[in-house]
Amino acid sequence: MQQAEIPLVTKNQSGITITLALSMLLASLGTSIANIALPTLSVAFSAPFAQVQAVVVVYLVALTITVVIAGRLGDRHGLKPMLMTGLVIFGMASLLCSVAANLVLLVAARALQGIGAAFLMTLAMALARQTAGKERIGRAMGLLGTVSALGMAIGPSLGGLLIELAGWRSLFWLQLLLAAVAFIFAAVTLPAQQNRAAVVKVTIWSALNSHLAPSLVLNLLVFAIMMTTLTVGPYYLSLGLELQATQVGLIMAVGPVISIISGIPSGRLVDSWGSKRVLFLGLSLLTAGAFLLAFLPNMMAASGYILAMIVLTPGYQLFQAANNTGTLMDIPKERQGTVSGLLNLSRNVGMITGASGLGAVFALGVGTAELAQASETAIATGMKLTFLVAGCMMICAMVVARRSGRG
């Protein structure tokens, strides 16, 4: 079995890499590119912001609900055909978004697009595990992390350019085009599933074991911290430091840029050092970065925030490459789709936890939910409390990793 796979992977590796990277980019781009269009959509459909915001929220909700289902379908019917199914769903949903006559139809199409994105995100990770070979899994996971960060980073700027040049519908025409290109690459480059008759029925409970549960907990905690930087950071920079919107945007871009740069090197380090050592290094940097965010910005203003992010963000990419690699390394083929789905589920739950739970901690520290009315001192107090709690969460993560043998 293993001897039969090696020539196939070696021969088509470049095409496989492009296919999986495009799939992950589409899922990530779908998350970020629509945000910039919300003001335009509000005008186009004469709708208040609360209603237009559903265009973003419904995508994330549909993605979160569907990731495990997508993984199970991949295990049952084959990763390649289900990834191609996801590309068809995503492409058709993009087409429906581009021709939506009203906000209700657009929101419904975005929900369908989120379902397609769940297939892309989950099955791209599982296919990366199957096609990369054990000695290169870390690099494959690092590449997917880089592409995901790239999609999140370029989405708003690319979306803004397209809206100015061709209107908001062009955002979805672009996604349709990319989905069509990815579908062609998938059909040509991805290896067909072998020994389908040997695939057994997999349930979530059969996949969820003592090896996997700590990985999911770690994933949830880390993504909660990273999401907190995206939600609390802008409030602190704009209200606490009274920076202009352009300055806030530039400072907030530091994290995504570092993520893009550090993703592939993180994967290479996993292949060289092993996932356990890199996982512990990543968690150490995340812990240090969280505590630095609690103190440095209040001491050094924007420079302190940037320095803390320079420590925190590489830790995130090191953790992500190591955790995904270590989790999927010894998972049987018939469970890899389901496990990838569970990893993505814990990721999304972590993001929700960061946005809501730690967002509530920030408001508690500020002393009021009316943040715009709060003083600079109150905002600084909220920032400090939020990332002290985040740092304690990362200490808990290190304890979980140690006790489970993961780090």
Q: Which residue's entry shows tokens 């208040």?
A: 48
pLDDT of residue 134: 66
| Cβ–Cβ < 8 Å for 314, 256 | no
pLDDT band at residue 222 using 50, 70 and 90 as cut-offs: very high
Q: How confident is the model over 177-209, as pLDDT tens digits?
A: 999 998 998 888 887 765 444 445 555 555 555
**Two structure tokens written together for 145:** 């992390």
Residues spanned by the domain of 305: 208-407
Domain contains 197? no
Cβ atoms of residues 341 and 71 within 8 Å: yes
| Structure token pair of residue 13 | 């590796």
Q: Other C-beta atoms within 10 Å of 330: how many?
A: 8
Both 162 and 273 in a single domain?
A: no
Q: How many domains does the chain have?
A: 2
Helical ranges in 274-358 per DSSP H: 275-328, 336-353
Contacts of 93 (CB under 8 A, 6+ apart): 109, 110, 112, 113, 115, 116
Q: What percent of the chain has pLDDT over 70?
A: 88
Lowest mean pLDDT among 79-88, 212-221, 243-252, 292-301: 243-252
Question: Average pLDDT for residues 133-144, to the nearest whole number?
Answer: 71
On whether both 41 and 94 belong to a single domain, the answer is: yes
Q: Which tokens hold the place of 52?
A: 């237009």
* Pairwise CA distance, residues 345 & 227, whole Å: 15
Single residue among 151, 166, 191 that ends a domain in this structure: 191
**pLDDT at residue 305 above 90?**
yes
Written as one letter, the residue type at 229 is T
Amino acid at 380: A
368 lies in the same domain as 273: yes
Structural domain includes residue 338: yes
- Stretch 277-292: mean pLDDT: 95
Claim to verify: residue 151 and residue 212 sit in the same structural domain: no
Alpha helices in 99-210 (DSSP H): 103-132, 137-166, 169-189, 204-207
pLDDT band at 49 (very low <50, low <70, confident <90, very high): low
The per-residue pLDDT of the chain, averaged, comes to 82
Rounded Cα gap, residues 76 and 357, in angstroms: 36
| Residues 314/285, Cβ–Cβ less than 8 Å | yes
Measured between alpha carbons, how far is 238 from 257 in angstroms, rounded to an integer? 20
pLDDT, residue 3, reads: 40
- Encode burial over 355-375: b for 16+ CB neighbours within 10 A, e otherwise: bebbbebbbebbeeeebeebe
Nearest to 380 by CA among 310, 305, 268, 316: 305
- Answer yes or no: is pLDDT of 319 > 80: yes
- Residue 295 belongs to some domain of the structure: yes
HSE, CB side, 13 Å, CA atoms: give it for residue 201.
1
pTM: 0.77
Report angle CA 281, 282, 287 to the nearest 5 degrees.
100
CA 88 to chain CA centroid, Å, is 21
| Burial label, 46 (beta-carbon count in 10 A; 0-12, 13-18, 19+) | exposed
Which of 72-81, 86-95, 189-198, 322-331 is the least confident region? 189-198
74 domain residue, yes or no? yes
pLDDT at 8: 42
Residue 199 lies in a domain: no
Same-domain check for residues 122 and 219 = no
The domain boundary, picked from 191, 221, 245, lies at 191
Amino acid at 46: S
| Domain shared by 89 and 235, yes or no | no
- The mean pLDDT of 328-343, rounded to a whole number, is 74
Rounded-to-10 torsion of CA 108, 91, 32, 312: 120
- 201 within domain boundaries: no
The tokens for 251 are 């400072």
Question: In this predicted structure, which of 39-48, 225-234, 352-361 has the lowest mean pLDDT?
Answer: 39-48
Domain contains 202 = no
Q: 302 versus 49: which is more confidently predicted?
A: 302
User: Model confidence at 406, in pLDDT bands (50, 70, 90)?
Assistant: low
Residues 6+ apart with CB under 8 A from 271: 135, 136, 137, 138, 139
Q: What's the token pair of residue 166?
A: 């061709």
- Domain boundary residue among 159, 191, 223? 191
Q: Are residues 160 and 212 part of one domain?
A: no
Of the listed ranges 14-18, 109-113, 279-283, the one predicted with least confidence = 14-18
Same-domain status, 148 and 184: yes
Is 184 part of any domain?
yes
Model pLDDT, residue 260 = 81
pLDDT at residue 1 tops 60 = no
Q: Are residues 160 and 213 in the same domain?
A: no
> Are residues 261 and 229 located together in one domain of the fold?
yes
Same domain as 167, residue 33: yes
Same domain? 250 vs 390 = yes
The predicted pLDDT at position 6 comes to 43
Q: What is the CATH number of the domain that holds 137?
A: 1.20.1250.20
Lowest mean pLDDT among 125-129, 244-248, 333-337: 333-337
pLDDT at 5 over 80: no
Q: What is the crossing angle of helices 137-166 and 103-132, to 10°?
A: 150
